[in-house]
Amino acid sequence: KAVSHGVEFFLFDSEPSWYGMVCTCQECRKEWKAFLEARSLAFRDMDEVWKKRSGNNDDDRMYMGILNEYWDEFYARLWGAFRTSMRSQAGDGGFETGIYNYPKLADLDENAYFGGTHGRFMPLYEKRLVDFAAPENYLMRTARFGEMIRSFARSLPESCPIYPIVSCGAAGMPEWQRSPIDLKHRLFEIFCNGGKGFHAWSISGA
């Protein structure tokens, strides 16, 4: 509905998170089993693979890589279906997508694992299923903010814009945008250090 009325940006909410499985039904278990069989690998529960993710065993590391491949394929289908549906509604208006709170610097690692509700950013971006990076940058002192954005930008493809998420103030949370002046400084930091825009999040109101 929003896209049909010209909304330009739609950010997925990737919370809450959990690890191992999106779904524990027999159909999903069957799909994971078929994924392993196609690679001539013995069956292992996703939970078992996840629990052994930090192991030094070559076999454990190999299964973690396969699990990443599985999630990459899963999210390409999921986001691909979403994008096709959104495109059919958008008409000439167009729309762009990003993932709320992701990626963070550590998540751009080639071997970073995402289970549960989290897709890996780069495989989705390379398939043109997401358009921009939307890292979470509230809960950070302004003095460190520009440095973080520059560092983050160096980890992204040149073609990928950044839209940081900033806080306009949340009751009881120790963030650093306590006043309109704080927020203005934060926005200056974004644009002076290479951000293309921002997403403002607020419980208390801007």
The predicted-structure confidence for 13-63, as pLDDT tens digits, reads as follows: 555 455 555 666 788 889 999 999 999 999 998 878 878 877 778 888 899
Distance CA 204, CA 171 (A): 6
* pLDDT the model gives residue 16: 47
Distance CA 49, CA 82 (A): 28
Q: Dump pLDDT digits (tens) for 141-154.
A: 777 888 888 888 88
Q: Dump pLDDT digits (tens) for 87-102.
A: 888 877 677 888 776 6
pTM for the whole thing?
A: 0.76
Distance CA 56, CA 60 (A): 7
Q: Dump pLDDT digits (tens) for 154-187.
A: 888 888 998 888 876 655 555 566 677 878 888 8
Q: Are 115 and 18 in contact (CB under 8 A)?
A: yes
Q: Is 134 helix (H, G, I), strand (E, B) or coil?
A: coil
Q: What is the mean pLDDT of the chain?
A: 79
